[in-house]
Amino acid sequence: MELETLLLPFIWLLNGFLTIVYLTVENAVVVILIPGLIWLLKLTPKAQQKWTLITSLLAVIAGLFAPPVVGIWLMMMAYGSVLAIKLEKFNAESLSWRVISGISAYALIGVGFTLYTTMSSILIDPYGTFAQGKGYLDIIISLAVFLGPLSFVGLLVQSLFAHPPLEGTPEDIVYNVRTRGQS
């Protein structure tokens, strides 16, 4: 047996390992997004976990196939949502539902943007009617891709600053008021 033949299995293993490393680096945003979505799934109430899972799958699909900016925004939205839910003392369940709906809406925007850009380059319009409206659609879709996350950040900031900071949880405050501070 020759040396080259003996080295083939090791070369194949190295090639497989390098493929995995390349795919991980190429999709680093999605690799970083997934733990944030898992964390978000663990924070949501049991009744909302099915929707959170569907939203997470949609966000991963959007992160994989949409332009990189969509994945980056989804990553920041997921981790910002986890932070906001952790900090929310009054109604974390309501905030988690609004967060799930916001992330799913933006993931749908990302998937729609990808489908639009793919299909608009494939469509051939002999009369030019599609080309006339394409400029307007490009502007509207670009605004949705970039302004959608900013409105989501506004939602998070509003929910965090809607109530002043408290010394304890709302339950503790109500208990102290009802018992007049005596145990």
| pLDDT tens digits along 74-98 | 999 999 999 999 988 788 899 999 9
Q: Which pLDDT score, from 0 to 100, does residue 183 have?
A: 65
Residue 56, class by beta-carbon neighbours within 10 Å (0-12 exposed, 13-18 middle, 19+ buried)? buried
Q: Which pLDDT score, from 0 to 100, does residue 130 have?
A: 72
Pair 48, 70: CB distance under 8 Å: no
3-state helix, strand, coil in the chain (%, to 5): 85, 0, 15
What confidence category does residue 169 fall into, taking pLDDT thresholds of 50, 70 and 90?
Answer: confident
Give the chain's mean pLDDT.
88
Distance of alpha carbon 154 from alpha carbon 159, whole angstroms: 9
| Least confident range of 51-55, 110-114, 142-146, 171-175 | 171-175
- 127-141 pLDDT tens trace: 766 777 788 888 899
CA distance readout (Å), 177 to 138, 165, 166, 172, 173: 56, 17, 14, 9, 6
- pLDDT for 165 beyond 90: no
| Least confident range of 4-18, 42-56, 75-89 | 4-18
The pLDDT of 48-64, averaged and rounded, is 95
> Which residue carries 């943007």 as its tokens?
113
Q: Which pLDDT score, from 0 to 100, does residue 173 have?
A: 76
- pLDDT for 56 beyond 80: yes
pTM score over 0.85: no
Whole-number percent of the chain with pLDDT over 70: 94
- 25-41 pLDDT tens trace: 888 999 999 999 999 99
Structure tokens at 166: 């408290």
